[in-house]
Each structure stands twice: as structure tokens, then as C-alpha cells.
Structure 1
Amino acid sequence: MLKRISVKTNQRDEMQDITSEVRSALKEDSFRNGIVIVYSAHTTAGITINENADPDVKHDMLMRLDEVYPWEHPKYRHGEGNSASHLKTSTVGASQTIIVEDGNMILGTWQGIYFCEFDGPRNRTVYIKTLEG
């Protein structure tokens, strides 16, 4: 199965929990066992897995990424002015792979799947691909 989901972001930098959307895609496809790949086909937005119980984790991650990769830097050369978003995306990564067993993603108690926007607000697309095994 290959499924696309739309993500509408509201800020330049934000993390949206898309775990339930991925679960829904697996359920719709009756996918039971294998792996699911969650992929962002954008150079300025990524996918990560992290804690989804405490919203301060998202805040702290975005704050620290902004400290490491400030929006403006005198040595950035990219003409669009969004070099920081490219650096953040490369650091976070474009995809995550999750094991699926008996129709359930194997995630830790506090883990969730996040779409990470670094150049919003925008309308984005996330791809969900299942592989049986």
C-alpha cells in the first residue's frame, strides 16, 4: 500500500503528531505484519519519532534546533533565505521506519510519529508505505 496524507502547518517551525493518521492508514489497508515507512518528500520538512505525552518536548526540540540552526546567519548563501530549514530537515531526517505486528505499530509507551515543519506555514504531503514481512 502507498497512501498519501495531507498536513497543513500553521507556523514556520512546528511538530505535528501524525501517529493517529498512520494508524488509520494501516487499519484501512488491513495491514497486519511488516514495516511501515513514513516519508516526507520535502527538503524543508522531516519525520521523527519522539515523546508525545509532554508538549514541552516539542517546544524544547524546536528551541534547540533553532539555537543550533538560527533562521538568519551571515554566512548562509542559499538565495531563498531558508537555509536553516534545510539543515534542520537533514538533522531530523526525511523518514521513519516502524515495525508492525498484528496490525499494531511497535512504538514505546510515550512515542509518537511527528511531522516536523521547518519552513511553514504550508500544505504538505506525507507518504505512508507498507512492506509485508
Structure 2
Amino acid sequence: MLFRKNVQTMKRDEMIEITQEVQKAVTEARVNEGIVLVYCPHTTAGMTINENADPDVVHDMLLSWDEVYPWHHSAYRHAEGNTAAHLKASTVGPSQQIIIDGGRLVLGTWQGIYFCEFDGPRNRTYYIKIT
């Protein structure tokens, strides 16, 4: 079963937790055992799984990505000026897979699924595929 979801991002760089949306799709699909794939079809956004208990972790991740991939760099050639967003998205990756057991996502105690925006604000789409 495939679900198409929209998300409105509000900042240039942000991580939006979508764990509940993914679990809702699994529940709606009535899948007890399987795999869920969460996929981002954008070249300047991605998906990750990380801590969702302390918001400072998200802050620190975004800060660190900015340090590794500065928004403005004299050697960047891409005319749109969003090379850093492309680099961050490639580092994070476009998708995550999560096991489904007993109709629930198998995530660690502190884990959440995040849509990662690196070139916002934008109206974005992501997909949830359940097998």
C-alpha cells in the first residue's frame, strides 16, 4: 500500500518528526508484520531516524551540517545557490526502512522518523510504502 503525504516546511533547514504519520499509515493499512519504506523524492531534502526526546539533538545536527556544508562557499558553482542543500540531502539519504511487528513500528525508545528540509521553506511530498 502506498501513501502520499504533504509537509509544509517553514525554515531553510529543519527536521520535522513524522513518526506518528507513518504509524497512522501502518495502522490504516492493517499490516501486522512487514516493512515500511519512507521515501523523499526531492534532491534537497531527505529522511533520517534519530533521537526524538531532546530537541537539542535536532538543533545540534542542523548546526553541524551547516558547519560541514556551509550555505555560501566561494568554490560552489551551482547557479541556484543551494549546493549545501544538495550535499546535506545526499549525506542524509532519501529513505528509511522500518520493521513492522504486531502492527507497530519497531523503533528504539528514543527514536523518531524525520523529514529533513535543507532548502525551505517549501511545500514537500514524501511517500510511505508498506509491504
Q: Could you say which TM-score interval applies, normalised by the shorter chain?
A: over 0.9
* Deviations 1:80-112 (CA, angstroms, capped at 9, x unpaired): 000000000000010000000110110000000
- Counterpart check, 1:61 vs 2:52: no
The gaps in structure 1 that reach 5 residues or longer are: none
| Equivalent in the alignment of 1:119 | 119
CA distance in structure 1 between the partners assigned to 2:17 and 2:123 by the alignment: 15
CA distance in structure 2 between the partners assigned to 1:37 and 1:54 by the alignment: 25
CA distance in structure 2 between the partners assigned to 1:101 and 1:90 by the alignment: 29
Residue 31 (structure 1) shift: 1.4
State the SS of the aligned residue for 2:89: helix
The gaps in structure 2 that reach 5 residues or longer are: none
| Equivalent in the alignment of 1:51 | 51
| Equivalent in the alignment of 1:83 | 83
| Equivalent in the alignment of 1:37 | 37
| Equivalent in the alignment of 1:19 | 19
| Equivalent in the alignment of 1:96 | 96
What is the TM-score with the length of structure 1 in the denominator? 0.97
CA distance in structure 2 between the partners assigned to 1:16 and 1:81 by the alignment: 23
Identity %: 66
CA distance in structure 1 between the partners assigned to 2:106 and 2:27 by the alignment: 14
CA distance in structure 2 between the partners assigned to 1:31 and 1:44 by the alignment: 31
Residue 62 (structure 1) shift: 0.1
Residue 39 (structure 1) shift: 0.4
State the SS of the aligned residue for 2:31: coil
Aligned residues: 131
CA distance in structure 2 between the partners assigned to 1:119 and 1:36 by the alignment: 26
CA distance in structure 2 between the partners assigned to 1:121 and 1:11 by the alignment: 5
CA RMSD of aligned residues (A): 0.5
| Equivalent in the alignment of 1:71 | 71
CA distance in structure 1 between the partners assigned to 2:27 and 2:104 by the alignment: 9
State the SS of the aligned residue for 1:56: helix
* AA aligned opposite 1:18: I
